[in-house]
Amino acid sequence: MTNKYKVIVLTYAATLLIICTVYVLGTLYNITYAKFTADPAKIYNASPFTGVLSNLGVLMWCVASSVCFFSGILLYRTNRKSALFLLVSGIFSSILLLDDLFMIHDYAIYLIMPFEHAQNIVLILYILLTFWYLFRFYKILLSVHYYIFITACFFLGMSLIIDMVFENSGLEYFIEDSFKFLGITSWMLFFTCASHQFLSKKITTKN
């Protein structure tokens, strides 16, 4: 079987596995299947604009992750260093995507670690991961529009600080999520620009 068909088979296998998992969970825990499959706004009869900024943020995380994986795979044979940077960045972006989508550090983590400071443990792990990432790839980061990456870290950091210091209500909540959205936008922009720079060099070198 060629690599192309392996990818096709794995894609459908993973999709069917997710569908089967949803069915099993719904059956075991007596949860209505629509709770898994329908749009949340439809389930709770809410406005279609409910969570629009959050949903757009998740899409941007997804764009950043996809661009990193796609570019990293294309560069793997010709530029291992840049490819490794992009692939690790894709994994990092995917972790942040899943956290944001399933509210892992906000709520879901308490299902795994049901004690008071579980959220703090997750945040500490993120900080350690970020420091490792910066230490491991600082040379590459400095070579590709680093000011955009710094901007992303600043906005995301401000969002985190506001979340920890102020109550999640009213104007504070809006400001926190606005900083977060600006951070995600900057994150997506940085990795899109970085991928474009690496791929452009590859094309130029090839020609």
- Give me the domain span that covers residue 25: 1-50
Residues 29 and 100 in one domain: no
Predicted TM-score (pTM) of this structure:
0.89
Shared-domain flag, residues 43 and 57: no
Contact 155, 182 (CB under 8 A): yes
Count CB neighbours of 121 within 10 A: 13
Query: Looking at the structure, do residues 8 and 98 belong to the same domain, yes or no?
Result: no
163 and 73 assigned to the same domain? yes
In the chain, how many domains are there? 2
Same domain for 107 and 17: no
Do 116 and 157 belong together in one domain? yes
Q: Please give the chain's pLDDT, 207 residues, in tens.
A: 677 788 899 999 999 999 999 999 899 989 888 888 988 888 888 888 888 999 999 999 999 999 999 999 999 988 999 999 999 999 999 999 999 998 876 665 665 666 667 677 778 888 899 999 999 999 999 999 999 999 999 999 999 888 878 777 778 889 999 999 999 999 999 999 999 999 998 777 665
Contact (Cβ atoms closer than 8 angstroms) between residue 145 and residue 190: yes
> Do 26 and 112 fall into the same domain?
no
